Structure 1
Amino acid sequence: MNILSSWSGNQSRHISSLLKVWIPRIIQNVEIWHSEEDIPKGKLWFETLRKQLEQVDYGIICLTKENLDSKWIYFEAGALQKKLDESAIFTLLYDLKPTDIEYPLAGFQHTILNDKRDFRRLIDSINNIEEINIDTSTLDYTYNRVWDEFSKEFSSIPTIKKDESKTVKRNDRELLEELLNTVRNLDRSNSDKLSVSNILSTQDGLSKPSRRILRILDDAPKTTEEIRHEIKEKYNEDYPVVLLHTRLMSLLKRGFIKEIFQDGQKKYLSL
């Protein structure tokens, strides 16, 4: 299972590198893709990122006070959102509270890095993927052993200097300029590939599949199976029940839909 770790700035780069080392020690068959280490020198970085996005199952966005306004963070968040459902994208907060985060990043699920119980919820979400699913007792034992060592590493996270925020913004401009130049030189004849306009145009915090579900629920309350059938008819896409359930739970948690019971069946209704 592949997880993309997104970062911008010294603090989040360090946090991302910690995730690469420590999460696989908790869940062994997880691989963290950390761009600083995983793009070989000389490779076209945007093309490498695009290919990696095609393979990822989860995304973790490392947020700190120094990168809340980073254009690069918003770019990668948009790229992840085009590929994944919102429930598969997490923001990892360091020295921040959930109330510090604004939309569209506020629409994702937040995890506090140095909160043992909260970080465990992130691990549980990853573990609940069918291909992993380590039993609870084994995960408890491993997590408790690893956490003590992992949490000691937090002291190595660099502090923010007063002038560092300007450096981050300058680096973001350079990255975006390189991105635009790269996109112009790449073949974009296939509309399914990533494009800058498509990625940056996603501002409502919802992926295309979730918006489709909302449109379907606009007409009348529907069961999960009815939603799945209508998606197949209208959009010629066959959603696995587990994936559809995950999307519905995400929309329910964020207040876009509600559950009702009608004719003895649980149905979902758009708000």
Structure 2
Amino acid sequence: MQVFISWSGEQTRELGYALKLFLDTAFAGHVSTFLSDADIAPGERFLAAINSGLDDAELGILLVTHTNQRSPWLLFEAGALASKTTAGSVIPILVDVDRAELDPPLSQFQNVIGTSRDSLVKLCARILNESTTAPGETAHRILFEQAWPALHDAVERAKQWERSSATPRRDVNEMLEEILLSVNSLVLRKAPESAFDLGWQPPSSRVRNNTFTLRPGDEIEHEQFGHGRVSEVTGEGSKAVAHVTFDLAGFKKILVKIAPIRVIER
């Protein structure tokens, strides 16, 4: 029997190796496993090897975490495996995500809990029943008991990896503003040094654009967006950003230092 092990992200890389070793040990090498990180040789065409592994697989095991359950690679491999039979050839192993938290389409597959010995016994029972070359039930049970502790420890390490390595989700508006600043910084770098004062500026409730200051409540005229009113100014110095609602263009964030604007006389 050929088993395809699907993983995505550093959190499940080591766990993939642990699962491969577990299956090799529990079935005495009579069950073949495919793990992309281990079974694709240097120089081999990656996608071709993946497709070959998917084609040969009779069962797919997905290592699913809270952060990778929407991974395009994981979903692609799950879809390819699921299309092979109507009986269902995909088994997700849940690492740090509860069954109630599992999103579609992976939630449609009957899953097992990675830290649950009983769950892994059931997974192995299916492989044992469907494999024509697996060892006898008694031999398998002895080998399972030998292999299980190492796999359980690997799942626990993967769970701890998530707690220690995950970063909190960032606000979307904050990320968009950072992208805006980064892009406009490239413009500043390409401009002649004499065009802008790139030195440090002390914190202030007002920001300076060459010869004038800008503050909330100011009305401005933008060469492209037209008339607008400033609602907020964030950042300092050359990174100051004005939040402006324009009459025709709507809400925009503009980098004050290089924006083609003028303040309408107060």
TM-score, normalized by the shorter chain, greater than 0.5: yes
Q: 2-side partners of 1:151 and 1:18: how far apart? A: 9
Alpha-carbon contact 2:81-2:90 (below 8 Å) kept: yes
Alpha-carbon contact 2:64-2:95 (below 8 Å) kept: yes
Distance 1:13 1:165, change over 3 A: farther
Q: What is the TM-score of this pair, normalised by structure 1?
A: 0.56
Partner of 2:230: none
Alpha-carbon contact 1:26-1:143 (below 8 Å) kept: yes
How do 1:34-49 residues align onto structure 2 when only pairs under 5 Å count? Answer: 34-49=35-50
- Per-residue CA deviation, residues 44-85 of structure 1 (Å, 9 max, x unaligned), is 211111122221111001101120221111111111122244
Q: What is the identity percentage for the equivalent residue pairs of Structure 1 and Structure 2?
A: 23
Q: CA deviation at 1:164?
A: 8.9
How do 1:94-105 residues align onto structure 2 when only pairs under 5 Å count? Answer: 94-105=95-106
- Structure with the greater alpha carbon radius of gyration: 2
Partner of 1:136: 137
Alpha-carbon contact 2:18-2:150 (below 8 Å) kept: no
Partner of 2:17: 17
Partner of 2:58: 57
RMSD of aligned residue pairs (Cα, Å): 2.1
Q: Which segments of 5 or more consecutive residues in structure 2 lack a partner in the other structure? A: 171-266
Does structure 1 residue 162 correspond to structure 2 residue 163? no
Partner of 2:26: 26
Alpha-carbon contact 1:58-1:84 (below 8 Å) kept: no
Q: 2-side partners of 1:75 and 1:44: how far apart? A: 18
Q: 2-side partners of 1:134 and 1:58: how far apart? A: 18
Partner of 1:89: 90
Which structure has greater strand proportion? 2
Q: CA deviation at 1:140?
A: 2.1
Could you say which structure has the greater relative contact order, defined with CA pairs below 8 angstroms and 6 or more residues apart? 1
Q: Letter of the aligned partner of 2:127 in structure 1?
A: I
Q: 2-side partners of 1:37 and 1:164: how far apart? A: 31
How do 1:221-236 residues align onto structure 2 when only pairs under 5 Å count? Answer: none
* Matched position secondary structure for 1:8: coil
Distance 1:165 1:152, change over 3 A: same
Q: 2-side partners of 1:80 and 1:16: how far apart? A: 17
Q: What is the TM-score of this pair, normalised by structure 2?
A: 0.57
Q: 1-side partners of 2:24 and 2:87: how far apart? A: 23
* Matched position secondary structure for 2:133: coil
Number of aligned residues = 166
Alpha-carbon contact 1:127-1:133 (below 8 Å) kept: yes
Q: CA deviation at 1:127?
A: 0.7
Partner of 1:174: none
Q: 2-side partners of 1:107 and 1:71: how far apart? A: 17
Partner of 1:148: 149
Alpha-carbon contact 1:66-1:165 (below 8 Å) kept: no
Q: CA deviation at 1:26?
A: 0.2
Q: Letter of the aligned partner of 1:9 in structure 2?
A: G
Q: CA deviation at 1:105?
A: 0.8
Q: 2-side partners of 1:71 and 1:61: how far apart? A: 13
